[in-house]
Amino acid sequence: MQPFPISLETPVKFPGPLPDQADVVVIGGGIIGVSSALFLARAGKKTVLLEKGRVAAEQSSRNWGWIRQQGRDPDELPIMVEANRLWRELATQTNQDIGLRQAGVTYLAKSEAQMAKYAAWAPIAQELGVDTRTMGAAETAALVPGMSQTYAGALHTASDMRAEPWVAVPALAGIAAREGACIVENCAARALDIAAGRVAGVITEQGRISAPEVILAGGAWSALLLGSQEVFLPQLSVRATVAATSALPLITEGGVADDKIAFRRRADGGYTLAPGGFHELFIGWNALRSLPKFLTQLRAEPFGTRFYPAAPHGYPDAWTTPRRWLEGGISPFERMRVLNPPPNRSRANRLKGQFAALFPELPDFDLSHTWAGMIDTMPDLVPVVDRVAALPGLTLGTGMSGHGFGIGPAMGRILADLAQGKDPGHDLGRFRFSRFADGSAMRLGPAL
Sort 441 into a burial class: Cβ within 10 Å, 0-12 / 13-18 / 19+: exposed
Q: How many CA atoms lie within 13 A of 122 on its CB side?
A: 18
At 272, the amino acid letter reads T
- The only residue of 18, 24, 25, 32 in contact with ligand FAD, by rule CB under 6 A: 32
Shortest Å, Cβ 224 to ligand FAD: 8
Confirm or reject binding of residue 38 to ligand FAD (CB under 6 A).
no
| 8 Å CB contact between 416 and 36 | yes
| 8 Å CB contact between 405 and 63 | yes
Shortest Å, Cβ 161 to ligand FAD: 10
Q: Which stretch binds ligand FAD (CB under 6 A): 132-140, 220-228, 275-283, 320-328?
A: 220-228
Confirm or reject binding of residue 65 to ligand FAD (CB under 6 A).
yes
Neighbours of 210 (CB within 10 A): 15
- The only residue of 4, 10, 28, 48 in contact with ligand FAD, by rule CB under 6 A: 28
Neighbours of 318 (CB within 10 A): 18
At 324, the amino acid letter reads R
Confirm or reject binding of residue 221 to ligand FAD (CB under 6 A).
yes
Shortest Å, Cβ 190 to ligand FAD: 7
Confirm or reject binding of residue 50 to ligand FAD (CB under 6 A).
yes
Confirm or reject binding of residue 161 to ligand FAD (CB under 6 A).
no
Shortest Å, Cβ 439 to ligand FAD: 27
Confirm or reject binding of residue 218 to ligand FAD (CB under 6 A).
yes
Question: Which residue has its beta carbon closest to ligand FAD?
Answer: 30
Residue among 375, 378, 399, 374 at smallest CA distance from 443: 378
Q: How many whole angstroms separate alpha carbon 266 and alpha carbon 206?
A: 38
Shortest Å, Cβ 261 to ligand FAD: 13
* Torsion angles phi and psi, residue 308, rounded to 5: -125, 145
b/e map 104-117, b = 16+ CB within 10 Å: bbbbbbeeeebbee
Q: Do you find a cis peptide bond into 322, omega within 30 degrees of 0?
A: no
In the shown chain, the binding pattern of residues 331 to 370 toward ligand FAD, with x for contact by CB under 6 A and - for none, equals --x-------------------------------------
Residue among 251, 232, 254, 270 at smallest CA distance from 365: 270
Q: Which is nearer to ligand FAD, 24 or 242 (CB)?
A: 242
Cross-strand bridge partners of residue 105: 157, 255
| 8 Å CB contact between 352 and 367 | yes
DSSP at 268? T
Confirm or reject binding of residue 66 to ligand FAD (CB under 6 A).
yes
Neighbours of 208 (CB within 10 A): 16
Shortest Å, Cβ 363 to ligand FAD: 26
- Binding residues for ligand FAD, how many (CB under 6 A)? 40
Q: Which is nearer to ligand FAD, 101 or 403 (CB)?
A: 403
Shortest Å, Cβ 115 to ligand FAD: 23
In the shown chain, the binding pattern of residues 383 to 422 toward ligand FAD, with x for contact by CB under 6 A and - for none, equals ---------------x-x-xxxxx----------------
Q: Which stretch binds ligand FAD (CB under 6 A): 59-67, 297-305, 347-355, 416-424?
A: 59-67
3-state secondary structure of 298: helix
Q: Which is nearer to ligand FAD, 147 or 384 (CB)?
A: 384
Q: Which residues bind ligand FAD (CB under 6 A)?
A: 27-33, 50-53, 57-60, 62-66, 188-189, 217-221, 225, 240, 242, 333, 373, 375, 398, 400, 402-406
